[in-house]
Amino acid sequence: MKTQKTWFITGASRGFGLEITKAVLASGDKVVGTVRSKGPELSAQLNNDPNLLVVTMDVTNEQQVKAAVQQAVDQFGQINILINNAGYGLLSGVEEATNEEVKQNYEVNVFGALNVIRAVLPFMREKRAGHIINISSVGGLGAYMGWGLYGSTKFAIEGITEALAMEVAPLGIKATVVAPGFFRTNFLDESSLISSKQIISDYAETVGAMREFAAKANNKQPGDPEKLAQAFIALGNSENPPVHLPLGKDTLDRFRAKTTAFEMEITDWLDTITGTDHDDVEAKFQEAE
């Protein structure tokens, strides 16, 4: 007989969060789904499932996050899997965005995720078990023009998760960062994506072209959100989950193209790269050979 797990999913009202929530409930597990508002609407949409607890919470409010996590533990006794999903996109050239626009993107995508991780980990450490799954992006593996600032928040999530996985491994806790490609969700809608208020005409051929592409690509993305949700079910039930999980052929292609280009640059600049150590270090290296 299956042992029920409790999943804590941020941003559960739409997009990936909603699809994963539906898949988890269908699998027989429990879900604590967080929303910023209109919690009763999500409960009604999911037929007031007794295995679902909807909690109102803003990931940028640390006190709300702590209260929501405590409510989850009080209701279901434990949190086995955390899905850090809440976030939004910023489409902008690096020069175009204001300091405030960039800071707010980091507040939600990075510092918000950290708030939830810090709130959940004490309970996982007590149980010496658990799995933290942070959602990154194809833009967190390789940069795109117009997505550099948003992508930098996801690069941060990649690095945080890598370190976290090493830190919590001796405690019986797992950590995975999932990098989805372009999936057919509402991510390119105004509800999940903002564009910088400033638009500089000199970037029309690069960032401007990306804005046009994003508008045309909306609702035509190759990824299937329902299949992504099933990938999360497999990940959450894995006894040996990966630290990195790219999802979508577009993500895999992007990462492989980046690593190939990186290897070519290393080959071209190998003498410079390897010629920066002290002479005594080089001598010891040659002796070892």
> Catalytic residue numbers?
136, 150, 154
What is the C-alpha to C-alpha distance for residues 62 and 46, in angstroms, rounded to an integer? 27
Which residues neighbour 258 within 8 Å (Cβ) at sequence distance 6 or greater? 141, 142
Phi-psi region of 86 (alpha: psi -120 to 50; beta: other; left: phi over 0): beta
Query: For 153, how many CA atoms within 13 A lie in the half-sphere containing its CB?
Result: 26
Q: Residue 13 in contact with residue 191, Cβ under 8 Å?
A: no
What is the C-alpha to C-alpha distance for residues 122 and 156, in angstroms, rounded to an integer? 22
Give the closest residue to 22 by CA, choosing from 46, 51, 42. Answer: 46
Residue 31's DSSP bridge partners are 7, 52
- Residues in the chain, how many? 289
Which residues neighbour 76 within 8 Å (Cβ) at sequence distance 6 or greater? 6, 30, 32, 53
Q: Residue 112 in contact with residue 86, Cβ under 8 Å?
A: yes
Within a 10 A sphere around the Cβ of 60, how many other Cβ atoms? Answer: 15
| 269: exposed, middle or buried (Cβ count in 10 Å: 0-12, 13-18, 19+) | exposed
Within a 10 A sphere around the Cβ of 2, how many other Cβ atoms? Answer: 8
